[in-house]
Amino acid sequence: MSQQQPLGSPIPFPASSDLNGTWAFIQPSLGLILGSSGDQGVTSKVYMNCYTAVYNYCTNKSRNGGSISDTGPTNPATTNSYSLAGSEIYSKLEKYLVKLITSLRKEPNESFLEFYVRRLNRFTIGAGYMNNVFDYMNRYWVQKERSDGRRDIYDVSTLCVLQWKAQMFVNNADRLIEEIMDQIERQRNNEIIDTNLISSAVKSLVYLGVDTQDLKKANLVVYINYFEKKFLEETAKYYRLESNEFLAEHNVVDYMKKCETRLNEEISRSNNYLEDHTKKALVDTLNTVLIKDHANEMYDQFISLLENNQLEHIQRMYKLMSRVPSTLEPLAESLERYIKNDAIKVIEEIKKGGESTNNDNEEVAAVTKAKKSNGPINPKTYVHSLISVYLKFNDVVNDAFEKDPIFIRALDNACRHFVNKNSIALVNPKSSSKTPEILARYADAFLRSSSKEADTYDMNTDNLMIVFKFVEDKDAFEENYRRMLAKRLINNTSKSEELEESVIKRLQEENSLEYTSKMNKMFVDMKSSEDLKMKMRDHLVEIDSSLKDFTPLILASSMWPFSKQPDYVVKFPQDLQDIIDNFTELYTKAHTGRQLDWLWNHGRSEIKANLSRKGKPAFTFIVTNVQLLILLAFNDRKTYSFSELQEVVGCPPHLLDNQITPLVKYKLFEQSPSGPQNQNKPNTTFTIVDEYKSRKLKVNFVSSLKSEQRQEDDEISKEISESRQLYLRACIVRIMKARKTISHPELYNEVVTQSLSRFHAKNTDVKKTITLLIEQNYMKRIDNSIYEYVA
């Protein structure tokens, strides 16, 4: 078979069996390919001649199955009839690369870094061409050797890399890395440098990272061990010094701006010449040195930023600290403390009852009014003050802290604290919070039709729900709200049914369907009572009664917060008593088994009074049932003594005294002798006036009654206490049934968690309930802290 030889070659090809001749033929060209003579290259013809010479040698020796060493041919008898050739020429190439690389010298006017990058770039290009020259050897001999386990044999391109690493890089690594670091520091100092020089040098370290066991596997060992570690150390050292010096001469806001600039610069720099492996480590280093190590200085400035409402700088601080999550928690705790303290100032201004003297504290100045000295807290003032604090810092959390859950939690915790535990809400540490009651009164104010529009125009459901969200004793709010709702419904003083129902729907959405179940049932009762109202109206027409209207309300006793007062006894005239008896009979026939209890203390009446001047329309008086009976008595005569009225009405003296008070106060009655100290004396007389004077034709004497607030407060407290006990019993039994056996701490924690939607369970109440359930054999104590369910 004839060997290949390019036509017109001035130098004849060596014999394909001649190793030394073949090497002598290709060596001069290899130097040109690898750039040993600068940028001078080789022609394609020379390049192909080298490839052909190597190919001829390898194929010839492989066919002959022999091997020629530097000293001559081997003994054919000791070899296989066919073997792949390449070891001899590979050995010569390896020695040649060592000699060539160690002979490279830098120019007098260039730095080592410039020399290194210039030579390596040229060498790398040449290594690619060299790989092609020895392509046949790579594909056959090298591949065969590596498959036989020879991990010290490489393709020519890899061999070039490893020899450069061994002969050039390892011997000069410290010098090279030092010059790279110097260039990076100069760039950080805003000096102009050749960034391509750094980029090439750093990328070369990745190029040198060859995994000798798996040539296809990426390897960053050289890059990490020689460059990355040193780079991160120098970065930390540089910025630690700079940050300390900068903060010594500048304020924290300027420092944060400097941090932003430096971080952006380093990120840009990392994108230009760093591997992805280093980018995260660089960011972590910068975050530690620039942010974490100076977090205390930023914490110290944070309060000042809040006081001056500098949201832009607060946001800047947040964005920096969010890079180091562990620094956010102390910042959130600081925010929470500040909100609590700010709320204290607002509450104190309300208690003073005057306008704020601090013009910067807008929320205080806006709402601290309408409270008289030593007078009751105005619900609107109180609730809007709480809301103003929440809204102020909600804007901070939304805008500056970008709705971060950590800061939302801090705001919620602070609001929950000042809503429930401020000095107005807690008269003393052992008392229950007054906020649920005040909030219920706030709702009552804008839901009642009798409220003045000017007083309630900015009171609404949204405000109610903001505060309700943070109320801990939601059962206390529910009890107070339900009582006020009941009064609005039975007295027909709601602004609108739609508004009432929308509030209940919002409460249900915030809490649960169970939470508003009684309220919803109250509306059902009111609608059901409409049918009875129509039937009674028809009945009154049939009997031609002087009573123009009779509106009975049938209320489920378990749903409505009313109770029968034993001492509220009245004696109706016979014509009215007949109507009451007729209704009772009508109802009991339709609803067998139900029992009616009349709540006369909650009834209201309208009565026409012909006490106007001649030619003027009659007055309409809105009165209680007792007041109705008092006024009806004056149809028979103009004057009664206190004892006579008590006989006519049939109620106890203290009740009659209370009911007469507004009639005297607003000059419907003339009292003799006058004065409140004589009002309840048996012989004191009351004479109805001939002409009553009032600008209004409809006069409400009910609203002026002394309310039995203390008694109602006691009833509310008792109702709340009883409902909590029942809830805790059901909750504990439910938990015990599911868990069978549980420790006291676990049981307590689960009870608290489950009851949070209604109230915050106290440890003492939980213990009392557990003791009660043990006594009732629902559970038993195994030892001091373990309980077991008894089926």
> Is the pLDDT reported for residue 30 higher than 80?
yes
Q: ∠ CA(221), CA(223), CA(228), 5° rounding? A: 110
For residue 782, pLDDT over 90 is answered with no
Give the residue among 461, 475, 467 at the shortest CA–CA distance from 504. 461
670 and 773 fall within a common domain: no
428 and 310 in a common domain: yes
One domain for residues 342 and 401: yes
**10 within domain boundaries:** no
Judged against a pLDDT cut of 70, whether residue 65 lies above it is answered with no
User: Is 491 contained in some domain?
Assistant: no
Average pLDDT in the 193-219 region? 86
Average pLDDT over residues 398-425: 96
Q: Are residues 29 and 119 in the same domain?
A: yes
Which burial class, exposed, middle or buried, applies to 698 when counting CB atoms under 10 A from its CB (0-12, 13-18, 19+)?
exposed
d(CA 460, CA 465): 9
- For residue 529, pLDDT beyond 50: yes
268 assigned to some structural domain: yes
Which of the given ranges, 86-90, 168-172, 448-452, has the highest pLDDT on average?
Answer: 168-172
**Domain containing residue 683: CATH number:** 3.30.230.130
Residue 580, in any domain of the structure: no
Averaged over 533-561, what is the pLDDT?
Answer: 79
Residue 66 binned pLDDT confidence (cut-offs 50, 70, 90): very low
End-of-domain residue from the set 666, 691, 707: 707
Query: Residue 39 — pLDDT band, cuts 50, 70, 90?
Result: low
Q: What is the pLDDT of residue 764?
A: 87
Asked whether residue 265 is domain-assigned, the answer is yes
Say which residues have a Cβ less than 8 Å from residue 506's Cβ, sequence separation at least 6: 461, 464, 465
Q: Are residues 356 and 441 in the same domain?
A: yes
Q: Is the pLDDT of residue 670 over 60?
A: yes
Crossing angle of the two packed helices 709-739 and 744-755, in degrees rounded to 10? 130
Query: Is residue 661 in some structural domain?
Result: yes
Give residue 38's pLDDT: 62
Q: Which of 305, 340, 375 is the last residue of a domain?
A: 305
**pLDDT tops 90 at residue 417:** yes
Q: What is the mean pLDDT of the chain?
A: 87
Give the integer Cα–Cα distance in Å for 14 and 521. Answer: 111
Kindly state whether residues 652 and 727 are assigned to the same domain: no
The residue behind tokens 């001078």 is 40
**Residue 184 to residue 729: CA distance in whole angstroms:** 71
Is 693 within the bounds of a domain?
yes
Q: 682, 671 in Cβ contact below 8 A?
A: no
Which residues, other chains included, contact 227 with Cβ-Cβ below 8 Å and sequence gap of 6+? 177, 180, 202, 205
How distant, in Å, are the alpha carbons of 167, 560, 623 from that of 580? 117, 22, 18
Residues of the chain with pLDDT > 90, as a percent, come to 53
Separation CA 472–CA 416 (nearest Å)? 7
Same domain, 312 and 460: yes
More confident residue, 747 or 372: 747
Report the CATH number that the domain containing residue 747 is assigned in CATH: 1.10.10.10
Q: What is the mean pLDDT of residues 81-87?
A: 65
Q: Which residues pair with 68 in a beta bridge?
A: 73
Weakest mean pLDDT among 204-213, 386-395, 623-632 = 204-213
Looking at per-residue pLDDT, the higher value among 13 and 673 belongs to: 673
Please provide the size of the chain in residues.
Answer: 791
Identify whether residues 193 and 332 lie together within a single domain: no
Which tokens belong to 214? 């798996």
Tell me which of 707, 740, 758 is where a domain ends. 707
pLDDT at 366: 43
Q: What is the total count of domains within the chain? A: 5
Q: Is the pLDDT of residue 645 over 90?
A: yes
Q: How does pLDDT run across 342-356, given as a tens digit for each residue?
A: 999 999 998 887 444
Q: Clarify whether residues 352 and 399 are in a common domain.
A: yes
Question: 213 and 340: one domain?
Answer: no
Residues 434 and 461 in one domain: yes
| Measured distance CA(584)–CA(452) in Å, rounded | 39
* CATH code for the domain of 71: 1.20.1310.10
Residue 32 has pLDDT above 80, yes or no: yes
Query: Does any domain span residue 6?
Result: no
Residue ranges making up the domain that contains 723: 712-789
Query: Per residue in 264-311, pLDDT tens?
Result: 999 998 998 899 999 999 999 999 999 999 999 999 999 999 999 999
- List, for residues 241-253, the tens digit of each pLDDT value: 999 999 999 999 9
Query: 710: pLDDT confidence band, cut at 50, 70 and 90?
Result: low
Q: Is residue 311 within 8 Å of 343, Cβ to Cβ?
A: no
Asked whether residue 293 falls in the same domain as residue 318, the answer is no
Q: What mean pLDDT is predicted for residues 708-720?
A: 72
For residue 440, pLDDT beyond 90: yes
Residue 447 has pLDDT above 70, yes or no: yes
Identify the weakest region by mean pLDDT among 2-16, 519-533, 725-739, 771-785. 2-16
Asked which of 151-155, 388-392, 537-541 is least confident by mean pLDDT, the reply is 537-541
pLDDT band at 374 (very low <50, low <70, confident <90, very high): very low
Provide the terminal-to-terminal Cα distance of the chain, rounded to the nearest Å.
Answer: 101
Question: Quick check: 425 and 435 in contact, CB under 8 A?
Answer: yes
Residue range 473-492: average pLDDT?
A: 92
Give the pLDDT mean for 144-151: 88
Q: Provide DSSP, 436-497.
A: HHHHHHHHHHHHBTTS-HHHHTT--HHHHHHHHHH-S-HHHHHHHHHHHHHHHHHTT-BS-H
**For residues 435, 436, 437 and 438, what is the CA-based torsion angle, rounded to 10 degrees?**
40
